Amino acid sequence: MRYLIVNKTVKSFYNDLFIRYPELEILKESVQEIYVLLCHCYKNQGKILICGNGGSASDAEHMTAELMKGFLLPRQLNSANLLNFDPKDERDMTLRLQQGLSAISLNSQMALMTAILNDIGADMIFAQQVFVYGQKDDIFIGFSTSGNSKNIINAVKVAKAKGMKTVIFTGKSGGRVKSITDYILPVPEEAVYKIQDYHLPIYHTLCAMLEETFFGTNENDL
């Protein structure tokens, strides 16, 4: 299925990714589809659950940070976002708070993760969280350079059982997760560090596109 990006600023972020990294051209349609998928998630008040192992855990944390507060835009509050503050706090809080796109890094809660690891199993550290946090309109995003990480595969299975859509950032082969995920971004590399080098500009681009869509000044048509 093909989608049309009509917002000029969003389109410029999208096109710039492939100008800077022409070897990612093979993923052009997939990036566009995933952008639209994420837009629909947020328009339906959904959230994104993100995770990875090792260096990819840092990518999960990084992507979460770009979504939850201002990335390239200030995301100032508007009248619909204003809260009923104590008058002495109102101006300061209103100026400092930023709008966000709801995302949870499943790598962030050390006590919970070690409890799951100890009591249930290391291969369930993400699946257990997806089972509790996940709702039908949410999206699961997993980073797995091999595509074979058991804890990522289990999380995908739980997400799909809950009616969530799943997206995997991975390497050239796609691994075992390729056959079960809804969307996959297999960058054209096999070495772990080179795979991760490509994952960052892709999720930065998606975050920039989403931010412009929801907090920019131009009209969007999805």
**How many structural domains comprise the chain?**
1
Residue 36 lies in a domain: yes
Residue 146 lies in a domain: yes
Residue 220 lies in a domain: no
Q: What does the pLDDT read at residue 84?
A: 75
Q: What does the pLDDT read at residue 19?
A: 98
pLDDT (tens digit per residue) in 20-57: 999 999 999 999 999 999 999 999 999 999 999 999 99
H or E, element range at 133: helix 127-133
pLDDT (tens digit per residue) in 121-131: 999 999 999 99
Residue 10 lies in a domain: no
CATH number, domain containing residue 173: 3.40.50.10490
Distances (CA, A) of 152 to 30, 56, 125: 20, 11, 9
Q: What does the pLDDT read at residue 218?
A: 66
Residue 88 lies in a domain: no
Residue scoring higher pLDDT (85 or 105): 105
Q: Evaluate if residue 2 carries a pLDDT over 50.
A: no
Sheet holding 183-186, edge to edge: 103-105, 48-52, 139-143, 165-170, 183-186
pLDDT (tens digit per residue) in 136-164: 999 999 999 999 999 999 999 999 999 99
Q: Are 170 and 53 in contact (CB under 8 A)?
A: no
Residue 81 lies in a domain: no
In which residue are the tokens 């492939």 written?
A: 18
pTM (two decimals): 0.93
* Beta-bridge mates of residue 165: 139
pLDDT (tens digit per residue) in 178-188: 999 999 999 99
Q: What does the pLDDT read at residue 43?
A: 96
In which residue are the tokens 């990819």 written?
A: 56
Q: Are 96 and 81 in contact (CB under 8 A)?
A: no
User: Minimal CA–CA distance to 155: which of 137, 132, 172?
Assistant: 132
Residue 110 lies in a domain: yes
Q: Which residues constitute the domain of residue 45?
A: 30-71+93-215
Q: Evaluate if residue 219 carries a pLDDT over 70.
A: no
The band of 6, judged by pLDDT with boundaries at 50, 70 and 90, is confident
Q: Evaluate if residue 222 carries a pLDDT over 60.
A: no
Residue 8 lies in a domain: no
Mean pLDDT of 71-99: 80
Q: What does the pLDDT read at residue 1?
A: 40
What percentage of the chain carries pLDDT values higher than 70? 92
The band of 79, judged by pLDDT with boundaries at 50, 70 and 90, is confident
CB atoms within 10 A of CB 38: 24
